């Protein structure tokens, strides 16, 4: 019996850490600052060197029910149970695709807002066509290693040679 419980607890922790690694959180950024004093300096975006640290801080913000700046498996499981029940709208003890879609959209909202803000270069709360296309244009420029105005296999081969 002990082995099964350890396995269940381990799987639960792995699942929680995996979800946190994806940056899934539904709390607003301002709540993080209020709860943890805004100690986010030096934390980079989703592809930065410290992105795992940012995910852990967000996980703390989301699941630390007693405010001790630490989380327990019990706190995580309680919060997830509440969330599950909130999205099980027909109260049948299971989440169907429609209910899961609502849960997923709720989970991804903060990431969506972050991406919107990444595109909104002047911070006016609107994305114009230039804002929308700027990042992809920069990416194409970076991928075009031979500067011939197009990205093709030869650009990828050159890139691998430079990295090997």
pLDDT digits (tens, 9 = 90+) for 129-139: 999 998 899 99
Supply the DSSP symbol for 23: T
3-state helix/strand/coil string of 102-142: HHHHHHHHHHHHHHHHHHCCCCCCCCCHHHHHHHHHHHHHH
Evaluate whether residue 10 is within a structural domain: yes
The overall longest dimension of the chain from CA atoms, in Å, is: 65
- Residue 122's φ and ψ, nearest 5 degrees, are -100, 0
Q: What is the mean pLDDT, run by run of 10 residues, along the chain of 164 residues?
A: 58 47 39 41 42 74 87 92 95 96 92 91 91 90 89 75 52
Evaluate whether residue 55 is within a structural domain: yes
What is the token pair recorded at 29? 């950024």
Per-residue model confidence (pLDDT) at position 69 = 87
Evaluate whether residue 144 is within a structural domain: no
Evaluate whether residue 15 is within a structural domain: yes
Instruction: Tell me how many domains the chain contains.
Output: 1
Evaluate whether residue 119 is within a structural domain: no
| Structural domain harbouring 54 | 2-96
């Amino acid at each position: 019996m002990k082995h099964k419980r350890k396995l269940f607890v381990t799987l639960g922790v792995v699942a929680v850490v995996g979800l946190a690694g994806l940056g899934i959180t539904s709390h607003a950024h301002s709540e993080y600052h209020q709860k943890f004093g805004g100690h986010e300096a030096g934390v980079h975006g989703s592809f930065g060197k410290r992105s795992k640290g940012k995910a852990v801080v967000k996980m703390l913000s989301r699941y630390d029910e007693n405010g001790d700046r630490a989380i327990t498996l019990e706190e995580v499981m309680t919060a997830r149970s509440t969330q599950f029940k909130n999205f099980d709208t027909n109260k049948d003890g299971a989440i169907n695709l429609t209910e899961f879609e609502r849960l997923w959209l709720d989970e991804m909202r903060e990431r969506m807002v972050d991406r919107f803000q990444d595109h909104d270069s002047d911070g006016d709360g609107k994305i114009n066509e230039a804002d929308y296309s700027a990042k992809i244009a920069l990416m194409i420029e970076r991928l075009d290693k031979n500067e011939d105005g197009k990205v093709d296999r030869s650009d990828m081969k050159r890139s691998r040679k430079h990295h090997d």
